[in-house]
């Protein structure tokens, strides 16, 4: 029996370390039980992944949830899933293509016109390590969608968010930002050989810098 103790102890140590590392990297579980009845929440890229789970949890808490996505078929399906699981019928799909400044402006205009308030804006959508594509307006895709699209959306909705205070703007970045470097002379990778990983890290660093400056400007 004793010959199994050391391997089992080592296995237990490894398993425990893995759980602790997971909690450290992911930030653990949210302990809050707060509800948000009457509050309007916009979640970009909410048809799948983190965005969908965020929308699902906030719908459970009673919010008026707007799923803002490029693919309306997937967005409508996600909204239907969330309504069915939470029995919250205030979950709606709206078209938003962050690779198009025109689409962003149209989305923001409809929100300003149709929504009485916007309490929470969650800038979640993003693309990761794609080929050297460009947005409708000619920006490198990862920088254009991950940062510039959300930058414009946030600024267009800023007055509505201020009017709904106390409100929140949440920008999702990534640990990849620590490896980021912003080349202000070649943001769109027009003169350098394209590196999809470096472009992704650049976009995530830009989000962090934007968030820090936005926080400074909106202090108080």
For the annotated catalytic residues, the residue numbers are 200
CB 144 within 8 A of CB 95: no
CB 150 within 8 A of CB 126: no
Neighbour order of strands in the sheet with 168-171 = 91-95, 64-69, 40-44, 120-123, 168-171
Q: What angle do the packed helices 196-217 and 150-163 form, to 10 degrees?
A: 20
Residue 121 in 3-state DSSP? strand
Q: Where are the beta strands (DSSP E) in the chain?
A: 40-44, 64-69, 91-95, 120-123, 168-171
Q: How many CA atoms lie within 13 A of 129 on its CB side?
A: 2
């Amino acid at each position: 029996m004793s010959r199994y103790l050391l391997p089992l102890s080592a296995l237990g140590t490894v398993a425990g370390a893995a759980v602790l590392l997971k909690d450290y990297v992911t930030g653990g579980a949210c302990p809050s039980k707060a509800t948000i009845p009457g509050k309007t929440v916009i979640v970009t890229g909410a048809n799948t992944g983190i965005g969908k789970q965020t929308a699902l949890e906030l719908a459970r808490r009673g919010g008026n949830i707007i799923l803002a996505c490029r693919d309306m078929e997937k967005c409508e399906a996600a909204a239907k899933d969330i309504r069915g699981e939470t029995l919250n019928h205030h979950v709606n799909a709206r078209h938003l293509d962050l690779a198009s400044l025109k689409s962003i402006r149209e989305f923001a205009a409809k929100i300003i016109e149709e929504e009485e308030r916007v309490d929470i804006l969650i800038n979640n959508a993003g693309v990761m390590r794609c080929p050297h594509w460009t947005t409708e307006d000619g920006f490198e895709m990862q920088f254009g969608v991950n940062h510039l699209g959300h930058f414009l959306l946030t600024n267009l909705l800023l007055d509505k968010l201020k009017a709904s205070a106390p409100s929140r703007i949440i920008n999702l970045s990534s640990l990849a930002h620590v490896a980021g470097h912003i080349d202000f002379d070649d943001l769109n990778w027009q003169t350098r050989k394209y590196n999809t990983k470096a472009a992704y890290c650049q976009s995530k660093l830009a989000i962090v810098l934007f968030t820090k400056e936005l926080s400074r400007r909106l202090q108080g």
